[in-house]
Structure 1
Amino acid sequence: MKILDLEHTPFHQLEYRSSGPGGVERRVVLPFHRAWIDAMPAGIQCLVAVSDIQGRELDRNGNRLLGEAVAEELALLQDLGEIPDVDVVLLAGDLFDYPDLHKLGGTGDVTAVWNAFAVTSPAVIGVHGNHDMVEDELAPNAIALDGQVREYAGLRIGGVSGIIGQEDRHHRRGEMTYRKVLQDTLAAKPQILLLHQGPDDPDRNQPGDPSVRDYLENHGSSLVIFGHKHWYQPLHDLGRNQLLNVDHRLVVMSVREP
């Protein structure tokens, strides 16, 4: 599975509120992009990938997490025929912001986001970011991965949650432990690999983790989807892998009609 083209100009966007520096609320826009895939399994026509959507909807009365509003927006775009029916939503983590938006980098419950996407799509498969907690039961069609590979409609999807860091902190692992989980996941040969923390891209001065880059450069052959750090050039090849950064962006992937 390979992305042939990622459209730079968004076809849609969603404005929202987010925590800002110094506790000052800010207005932000989430861009929606189209990407064209060479081929998909027969049971899948459209995938959506997104991560690092840390914010709240504009409606202060509802004040839902941004991900809940995004799920609703996807349903609307489907109803309007703007996008195909979404078969799988791929989440790459960090979906929380405080209700009062008082501080950047809040950690909290994102169950409502997963379950909102589970209403929109037959399957939600993802990994947790270092700011995500799940305090309630996920919908039956929502699967959180951490070192596992699952098959859905002929598509093999693997994932590693969290980031490299102090192991006594939330969703963090030491470098060697993280690398072992990544190694075991890639050994199962996923077509799509979901990470929260991705590699760096020193040639383009794009941030990430050098040890993840080092490992992926020599192992695996997946479409690697990740967030955590924003890339301004989101699509890149590394070894036999293709990298797609979805930090603060949503990508709708389908096969282009002839």
Structure 2
Amino acid sequence: MKFIEVSEEAFYEIEYKSSGRGGKIRKVVLPFYKAVVDELPHGISSFVITSDLQGREQNGKSNRLLGELVAEELSLLSALGEIPSVSFVALAGDFYDHPELHKLGGTGDVTHVWNAFAKEFPFVFGVLGNHDIVQEQKLASNTIVLDSSSTNFRGLRIGGVSGIIGRSDRNQRKTQQEFLSALAKVTNFKNDLILLHQSPEDTSNNQVGDIEITNHLLSKDSGIVVCGHNHWSKAFIEIGKNQVLNVDHRLYLVTTANALKSC
């Protein structure tokens, strides 16, 4: 599976509110993009990848986390025939924001977000970001949290590493050695899709990330690597033989050209 086209023009947007600096509430837009791959296994029409949906719905009394609203909107787009049916959702971490939107970078429970996607779509795979907490015993049965692990879904192999490099006594942090060991465990298999929360450093375009992750990817042919955590203005790059897509504050619908023609 390889990307042959990654759109830079959004086909849909959701307005939401988010914590800003200094306790200010921001009004933000989440763009939806389309990405075309050369092929998908039989039984997979499309899948969705996204991360860093740190906000809450702009309208409505329930004040739900943004991810819960996104799951509903995607389901509606599919029901209307505007996008192909979504076979699974891949989450790359950080889906929490405070109910009062009073502090940027809050950490909290995102179990409801995972379960919202699981309610609307056949399966949810993902990694946890450094601001995520989940109650694994309350996660829907059609969800898998990946951390130094891989799984197979209808012929597509998906691996992932949760968290970021940092002090291991803090939420979803690993020491550099722990993170790189986990990454090596995942990249030692031939995965079609690798989910990371922490991004590699994009040295070609001066985009922020971790250089040791970059160096590791340069030595591996791992296919498609998805990341978040740091926002890149240029979302789609290559590192060695890997295609890397940064989905921080973005959503991508990944499908084939033939599947798009049917919409």
**Match of 1:112?**
112
Alignment identity in percent? Answer: 50
Alpha-carbon distance in structure 2 between the residues aligned to 1:52 and 1:41: 28
What amino acid is the match of 2:127? V
Equivalent residues of 2:194, 2:222 under 8 A apart = no
Secondary structure in structure 2 of the residue aligned to 1:77? helix
How many positions carry a matched residue from both structures? 258
Equivalent residues of 1:111, 1:134 under 8 A apart = yes
Q: What runs of 5+ residues in structure 2 fail to find an aligned partner? A: none
C-alpha deviation, 1:203, in angstroms: 1.5
Equivalent residues of 1:15, 1:30 under 8 A apart = yes
Alpha-carbon distance in structure 2 between the residues aligned to 1:88 and 1:39: 16
1:1-258 pair list within 5 angstroms: 1-135=1-135, 137-257=138-258
**Scaled by the length of structure 1, what TM-score is found?**
0.98
Query: After TM superposition, which residue ranges in structure 1, 4 or more long, deviate above 3 angstroms?
Result: none
Secondary structure in structure 1 of the residue aligned to 2:78? helix
Alpha-carbon distance in structure 1 between the residues aligned to 2:154 and 2:102: 42
C-alpha deviation, 1:221, in angstroms: 2.1
What amino acid is the match of 2:158? I
C-alpha deviation, 1:232, in angstroms: 1.0
Alpha-carbon distance in structure 2 between the residues aligned to 1:80 and 1:49: 20
C-alpha deviation, 1:236, in angstroms: 0.9
Alpha-carbon distance in structure 1 between the residues aligned to 2:105 and 2:43: 38
Q: Alignment RMSD, CA only? A: 0.9
**Scaled by the length of structure 2, what TM-score is found?**
0.96
Q: What runs of 5+ residues in structure 1 fail to find an aligned partner? A: none
Secondary structure in structure 2 of the residue aligned to 1:198? coil
**1:79-107: per-residue Cα shift (whole Å, max 9, x none)?**
11110110010000000000000000000
Alpha-carbon distance in structure 2 between the residues aligned to 1:85 and 1:200: 34
C-alpha deviation, 1:60, in angstroms: 4.6
